[in-house]
Structures are given as structure tokens and as C-alpha cells.
Amino acid sequence: MKAEKHWDESESIQLIRSMIEASKYQVADEKFLYLLWGYGVVVAGLSHYYLQFLTGYEYPYLVWLLMPILGVIHFFYLNKKTQSVQSNTWIYRVLSGIWVGMLFAILAVVAGGFGIGWGKVYPVFMLLYGTSAFATGTALEFKWLMLGGLLSIILGAIAFFFVFQFQLLLLVLAVLVSFVLPAHMMRKN
């Protein structure tokens, strides 16, 4: 029978510290994903605007095919990252729930866009971006994500009153304030 190990006070404190460090979530750990999706949507949105409204190109929406490519990059990034994560912390589960829910909502809105028209769904995209950013910022206590999310929600609400041409520009602005700018404010603690 194995003898029980008796821990002295310093070993106990060291174990507790190591467990706390392992469970700490660094908001900056997600910087890459916010920049990936943020700049991806900005590039696609501005390209769509340019192609449709400045050049008259017949298929400007094809630029959005960039999104599945970003999805593959996202998948491989997270797959590699989760292999290195030692603990399945509460915050990782909460954030996974927020963003997996966002994925399903985005896919539902994309499907709906084919039925009711894109001018009706772009404001919903902004609301989803904002809600997810705000919820994540709240969970992480990161004010820049909370503020950016709130601004994106406001822009989404305003976008319902504009034609598609201006909704594209509002979408770009919403993603800049809810993803790109907060990502640039993320720092390792």
C-alpha cells in the first residue's frame, strides 16, 4: 500500500498557485481570431461595396466566399490550440457556448438571406456580432469588447432603416468596433 504524502504549507500554496495559473484565461489568447474574422469581414464588406456600387460588377457577393476559408483557418487554429490546453475551464466552456451559438445563428441568417433578401439580414449580422462580443466581454470583464459589442448592436438597429448599400458600410464599421479595435486593445496580463 502506498504511503500518503503529507504536504507542507509551502507545497500546498505552490499547488494552489499552479492550479490558479492553469485556469486563468488570457483575453489576448483570442486576439488572432478577432483579427482574423474582423479583418476578413472588413475586406469582404468593402470589396463587395466597391464591386457592386462603384464598378457595377455582376457578382459582387462572391467575395463572401472568403468566410468558409476563414472558417477552415479558424478550425485548424483552435484544433492546435486545444491540444495544448491542459484544463477545460469554466470560461473556456462559456466562450465555446457563446461562439458555437453564434456560428449556428450566422448559418441560420445566411440561409434566411436567400429567402427574404440580403438587405433584411445584414442588420441581423451586426446584432449577432455585437451580442457575441458583448457577452464575451462581459464574461471576461474586458470593457473594450463590451463597448464594441454595444456599438455593433446600435449600428445593427440603425441599419434596418438604410438601404443595402449603406448597410454594407455599417457592417464594416460594426465589425471594426466590435472585433478589430478590441483585438488591438488585448494585452497579455
- In angstroms, what is the C-alpha Rg of the chain? 21
What pLDDT sits at residue 19?
A: 55
What is d(CA 86, CA 89) in angstroms, rounded to the nearest whole number? 9
Let me know: does 30 contact 10? Beta carbons within 8 Å: no
pTM here? 0.83
Mean pLDDT of the chain, nearest integer: 88
What is d(CA 148, CA 155) in angstroms, rounded to the nearest whole number? 10
What pLDDT sits at residue 91?
A: 78
Which has the minimum average pLDDT: 14-23, 78-87, 96-105? Answer: 14-23
Give the residue with greater pLDDT, 119 vs 183.
Answer: 183
Q: Which residues contact 85 (CB under 8 A, 6 or more apart)?
A: 92
Per-residue pLDDT of 11-70, as tens digits, reads 667 656 655 554 455 667 789 999 999 999 999 999 999 999 999 999 999 999 999 999
Per-residue confidence band for 81, with pLDDT thresholds at 50, 70 and 90 = confident
pLDDT of 88 > 70? The answer is no
What is d(CA 161, CA 132) in angstroms, rounded to the nearest whole number? 22
What pLDDT sits at residue 80?
A: 82
What pLDDT sits at residue 187?
A: 80
Query: Where do the structural domains in the chain lie, given as residue ranges?
Result: 24-185
Give the residue with greater pLDDT, 60 vs 95.
Answer: 60
